[in-house]
Chains A and B, each alone.
Chain A
């Protein structure tokens, strides 16, 4: 149980296009999902907290108009990288926190990640 999927796992796109990444909790509901970014040989940096039915909370320095987050249901959050540029190339990982209420400190389950390469 507690499986999180991401789609696509790989994406290569031209500069200027928009890319949508999906994060799904397959066997549980999640009011809260998180989006992380990871550069090669570096740790995960939290980009934003995705809240079902409300606006996402972005970390300092993350452009909300650049990285659009939609958490339309209790099992799906999407991250859209708008007008992608080569510097957006990275590994994007989502996680989901089980529960229908925002519970602090509960285990987060991570997706397998999406590798984005912008040419």
Chain B
């Protein structure tokens, strides 16, 4: 059974810092990996999707990398802003199906 873990569970940084969020998964036979953002009491917004054949994806200040063989992904946020404060979730789709398995999330607080 696929298990997804995110470290750290919570993170508080001053505005302007570059930061890295970590995601690991136990079964490397994944179809793709996705990073989401969730604001309190809201649904999910997809940030980046990395196919299993890809190494990274970039969108603006966000960069996500994937090392499938080691079961790891990182989300890099450059020049963090208070508006980046949210919970960041990573999720994987296994080769065996089409359901998302989510990590526990990282709650990010960027202080002005």
Contact = CB atoms under 8 A, between A and B. Distances in A.
A113 B98 contact: no
Nearest to B100: A108
A93 interface: yes
Interface in A63-119: 91, 93, 95, 97, 102-113, 115
Contacts, number: 57
Given A43-B89, A43-B105, A44-B89, A103 B42 contact: no
Looking at chain B's contact residues, the main secondary structure is: strand
Contact of A102 (B43, B89, B98): B98
Range of interface residues on B (Cβ < 8 Å): 20 to 34
A9 to B, nearest CB: 9
Interface string B79-112: 0000000000100010001111111110100000
A43 B98 contact: no
B49 A97 contact: no
Range of interface residues on A (Cβ < 8 Å): 20 to 34
A110 B93 CA distance: 15
Contacts of B104: 42-43
Given A43-B103, A43-B105, A107 B98 contact: no
Contact of A110 (B32, B41, B43, B105): B43
A46 interface: yes
A25 interface: no
B93 A104 contact: yes
Nearest to A32: B98
A112 B40 CA distance: 11
B34 A104 contact: no
Given A103-B98, A108-B100, A113 B49 contact: no
List 3 tightest A-B contacts by C-beta distance, closest first.
A110-B44, A105-B31, A112-B43
